[in-house]
């Protein structure tokens, strides 16, 4: 412990130098903007700025890029809450209750809770990273394809808990999402599927164009169909802050979201995207008022927003402790170190204490900066809602097209977004929820690859899922959930029949 404190002191001595403070602030600011711009997520933001870090020293480079990553998690919630447009994939769930809160005139409260939740989650996760990184990293590496598969099967059951509407409709949407996820190259055989000669579809359909289309574009198109324009809101200053009750309601979800997000975040791969979905489903499941979800439940904002920030920090655990490129974003950050001749590996913490502890300390500072940056912004951002829709909507559309195009410089992505906007209008007119489509699309490629990699590891022997302890636990848990779901639906059916007098 004394050693940790000593190291932390060293870290703060690095991180509080004016130069590092500047880079941490620049990273947080760029991250917030990148998160706000629909389409451009943290990966695109970090990739775009990577060359700019070549002229810096390695500590400054990683402080800057790290700031962009967790800053984007703060910024991503803004457009979700105000305009129902997910700024990046991890903010999809915030669109549901965050936007519902906005429609009820609680936009300021939603933004403030998202910022506070992100701050708490970010700070607690840095504590976890600091104290537990080496043992957790070893645990994380034990997640191979079979364990990943178990986790994702659990994720499938999360789908069912995402909405309060008809189960059949939810599952239909989930299956649509799963099908969309099969587009693109088959990693295990090299065949292209449903590609129709478009090389851009070789990597599959991106999550962001689909999410922006289904949520954001459809909202704008639906507004066009109304006889009267949506009411322009005039938020009052005293309504900007969350009420005592809203704060009390968000405390527990923030705590649960933090723990959940952190542990999902340390697992190598892209599972961190599902952290916000899992958190939302968990909150809805254990809530005393599940019917409030989708109508502006505070927990539906607090949980997912905390989870995605904690996951962003968790992803640094295997990266810093073992030098493992545990996901696309850590891979780019490791590349930033390699350019400076710092070879990332298990010895990084021992050989580069200034870099490691400087980065840890900068994350404490960065999270504080983001809170200070974001809370006053709430007042400013909420005023965007005062802009008449005739001006606001075209501007939003322009930003959506720009952001989605910028990620891969692909016009195909823009077309996907527009098509998904049309599809979203149809689905929502018929009372289908669109969130399960997005989660299905997120899960499908990961699930398929994990399953087939597992079977490649075992040469086709399915027992690999029950002979490995972590995988067996996860799969067993999923089976229990499935059986519980079937039992409750059977009970419900029996109760319905009894009510109608079909059975005595």
Partner 1 sequence: MTIAKHVLSALGALALLVAGWPALAQEKFPAHPVTMVVPFPPGGVADQTGRPLAAAMEKVLKQPVIVSNKVGAGGAVGMAAAANAKPDGYTILMALSSISIIPEADKLFDRKPAYQMDQLAPIALISSDPTVLVVPAEMPWKTVADFVADAKKRPGEISFSSSGLYGTLHMAMEMFAHGAGIKLRHVPFNGAGPAMTALLGGHVNALASGPGVVIPQIKAGKLRALAGWGDKRLPVLPDVPTFKELGFKDVEFYIWSGVFVPAATPAEVRKTLRETVKQAVASAEFKDAMTKLETPIAYLDAPEFKKFWDKDAAMLAAAVKKVGRIEEKK
Which residues of this protein are in contact with partner 1, per CB under 8 A?
47-48, 50-51, 54, 141-145, 185, 187-192, 197, 199-200, 202-203, 268-269, 318, 322-326, 328, 331-332, 334-336, 338-341, 343-348, 408-410, 449, 453, 456-457, 459
Q: Please say which residue, 345 or 492, places its beta carbon nearer to partner 1.
A: 345
Q: Please say which residue, 348 or 423, places its beta carbon nearer to partner 1.
A: 348
Q: Please say which residue, 192 or 477, places its beta carbon nearer to partner 1.
A: 192
Report the greatest alpha carbon distance in the chain. Answer: 80
Q: Which helix (H) or strand (E) holds 184?
A: strand 184-185
Cβ 208 to partner 1 shortest distance, Å: 14
Task: Single out the residue of 236, 8, 222, 21 nearest to residue 126, CA to CA.
Answer: 8
CB 272 within 8 A of CB 90: yes
Cβ 467 to partner 1 shortest distance, Å: 13
Q: Which helix (H) or strand (E) holds 185?
A: strand 184-185
Cβ 307 to partner 1 shortest distance, Å: 23
Cβ 402 to partner 1 shortest distance, Å: 17
Q: Please say which residue, 51 or 229, places its beta carbon nearer to partner 1.
A: 51
Distance from the first to the final alpha carbon of the chain = 67
Q: How far is CA 19 from CA 15, 71, 175, 295, 305, in A?
A: 8, 19, 50, 45, 30
> 29 phi and psi, to 5 degrees?
-65, -50
Q: Please say which residue, 61 or 96, places its beta carbon nearer to partner 1.
A: 61
> What DSSP string runs through 99-158?
HHHHHTT-HHHHHHHHHHHHHHHHHHHHHHHHHHHHHHHHHHHT--HHHHHHHHHHHHHH
Q: Distance between CA atoms of 148 and 153, rounded to whole angstroms?
A: 9
Q: How far is CA 399 from CA 32, 207, 378, in A?
A: 15, 17, 20
Cβ 456 to partner 1 shortest distance, Å: 5
Cβ 342 to partner 1 shortest distance, Å: 9
Q: Please say which residue, 81 or 337, places its beta carbon nearer to partner 1.
A: 337
Q: Please say which residue, 51 or 492, places its beta carbon nearer to partner 1.
A: 51
Sequence length of the chain is 504
Cβ 92 to partner 1 shortest distance, Å: 22
């Amino acid at each position: 412990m004394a050693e940790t404190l000593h190291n932390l002191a060293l870290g703060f001595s690095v991180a509080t130098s004016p130069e590092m403070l500047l880079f941490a602030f620049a990273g947080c600011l760029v991250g917030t903007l990148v998160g706000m711009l629909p389409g451009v997520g943290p990966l695109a933001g970090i990739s775009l700025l990577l060359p700019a870090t070549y002229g810096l020293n390695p500590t400054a480079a990683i402080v800057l890029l790290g700031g962009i990553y967790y800053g984007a998690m703060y910024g991503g919630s803004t457009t979700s809450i105000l305009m129902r447009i997910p700024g990046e994939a991890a903010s999809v769930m915030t669109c549901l209750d965050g936007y519902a809160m906005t429609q009820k005139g609680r936009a300021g409260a939603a933004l403030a809770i998202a910022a506070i939740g992100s701050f708490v989650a970010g700070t607690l996760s840095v504590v976890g990273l600091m104290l537990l990184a080496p043992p957790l990293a070893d645990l994380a590496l034990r997640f191979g394809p079979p364990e990943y598969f178990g986790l994702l099967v659990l994720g499938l059951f999360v789908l069912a808990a995402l909405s309060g509407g008809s189960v059949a409709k939810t599952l239909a949407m989930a299956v649509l999402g799963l099908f969309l996820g099969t587009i693109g190259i088959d990693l295990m055989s090299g065949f292209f599927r449903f590609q129709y000669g478009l090389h851009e579809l070789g990597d599959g359909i991106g999550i962001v164009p689909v999410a922006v289309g289904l949520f954001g574009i459809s909202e704008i198109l639906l507004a066009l169909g109304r006889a009267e324009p949506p009411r322009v809101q005039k938020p009052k200053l005293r309504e900007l802050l969350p009420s005592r009750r809203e704060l009390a309601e968000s405390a527990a979800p923030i705590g649960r979201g933090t723990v959940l997000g952190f542990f999902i975040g340390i697992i190598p791969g892209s599972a961190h995207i599902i952290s916000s979905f899992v958190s939302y489903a968990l909150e809805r499941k254990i809530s005393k008022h599940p019917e409030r979800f989708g109508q502006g439940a505070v927990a539906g904002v607090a949980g997912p927003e905390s989870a995605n920030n904690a996951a962003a920090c968790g992803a640094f655990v295997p990266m810093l402790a073992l030098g493992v490129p545990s996901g696309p974003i850590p891979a780019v950050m490791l590349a930033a170190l390699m350019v400076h001749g710092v070879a990332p590996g298990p010895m990084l913490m021992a050989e580069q204490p200034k870099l490691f502890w400087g980065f840890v300390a900068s994350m404490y500072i960065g999270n504080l900066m983001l809170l200070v940056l974001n809370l006053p912004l709430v007042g400013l951002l909420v005023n965007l809602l005062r802009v008449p829709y005739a001006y606001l909507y075209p501007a939003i559309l322009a930003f959506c097209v720009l952001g989605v195009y910028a990620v891969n410089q692909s016009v195909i992505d823009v077309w996907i977004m527009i098509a998904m906007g049309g599809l979203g209008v149809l689905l929502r007119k018929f009372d289908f929820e669109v969130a399960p489509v997005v989660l299905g699309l997120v899960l499908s490629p990961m699930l398929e690859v994990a399953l087939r990699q597992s079977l490649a590891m075992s040469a086709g022997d399915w027992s690999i899922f029950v002979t490995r302890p972590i995988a067996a636990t996860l799969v067993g848990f999923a089976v229990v959930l499935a059986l519980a779901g079937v039992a409750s639906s059977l009970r419900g059916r029996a109760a319905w029949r009894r009510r109608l007098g079909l059975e005595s």
